[in-house]
Chain A
Amino acid sequence: AAGVIQSPRHLIKEKRETATLKCYPIPRHDTVYWYQQGPGQDPQFLISFYEKMQSDKGSIPDRFSAQQFSDYHSELNMSSLELGDSALYFCASSSQTVGYTFGSGTRLTVV
């Protein structure tokens, strides 16, 4: 069965650089979510999209932005990267009839 696909799996960036993370939800899932999990921490909700419109926003820094495109894939853009942005970033998708499915995550390391 198709799963949530995230790319890249690993990303190394320098401070003050920009990173773009991509998420491809399960087909026919209408909602996409982004979470950030710091080392040894629980996942924290960043932002979600329902039918390509932003539906909810969590503790997402102003340096971060996200959008969902017409093909339903989503991208999380992070600018002016800081060392503290190093984390595992998860995408998840859901629909009315099927609950959450998480992707395998993108591990971002800022050096």
Chain B
Amino acid sequence: GDSVTQMEGPVTLSEEAFLTINCTYTATGYPSLFWYVQYPGEGLQLLLKATKADDKGSNKGFEATYRKETTSFHLEKGSVQVSDSAVYFCALPNSGGSNYKLTFGKGTLLTVNP
């Protein structure tokens, strides 16, 4: 079945450092891809998404490019802030349409130190 393999953390960076969190997927066809963020004690928030190959999703300085040839959707940010400390999940839907369940990666805990 469809699956997501995500770089597991924890990842600890200093403020203004460059961030990469790797995510690769196995899926039938070309599903949409998502990154979700979970801040401490909170729910899941959609960070960004890409719906087709070569699409680049971006939000709050984070970017991820849908790479069909490498089945990857790596998350990057050029300069992290303390407020970016959270758990990041890569996810994909198991089927098309609006009625889909999401399969998540294991999550990567990011800690940014001042």
Total interface residues on B, CB under 8 Å, equals 17
Complex A-B: 26 CB contacts under 8 Å: A31-B98, A31-B99, A40-B107, A42-B89, A42-B105, A42-B106, A42-B107, A43-B89, A43-B104, A45-B101, A45-B103, A48-B99, A48-B101, A50-B99, A55-B99, A56-B99, A92-B44, A94-B98, A94-B99, A95-B98, A99-B46, A100-B102, A101-B46, A102-B45, A103-B43, A104-B42
Is A58 an interface residue when CB atoms closer than 8 A count as contact?
Answer: yes
Number of residue pairs spanning A and B whose beta carbons lie under 8 angstroms apart: 48
Q: Supply 4 further A-B pairs (C-beta < 8 A) apart from A90-B43, A100-B46.
A: A30-B98, A45-B103, A50-B99, A102-B43
Is A33 an interface residue when CB atoms closer than 8 A count as contact?
Answer: yes
Query: Which residues of B have CB within 8 Å of A56?
Result: 99, 101
| Interface residue tally on A, bucketed by range | 20 to 34
Residues of B within 8 A of A (CB): 42-46, 49, 89, 97-99, 101-107
Query: Which residues of B have CB within 8 Å of A31?
Result: 98-99
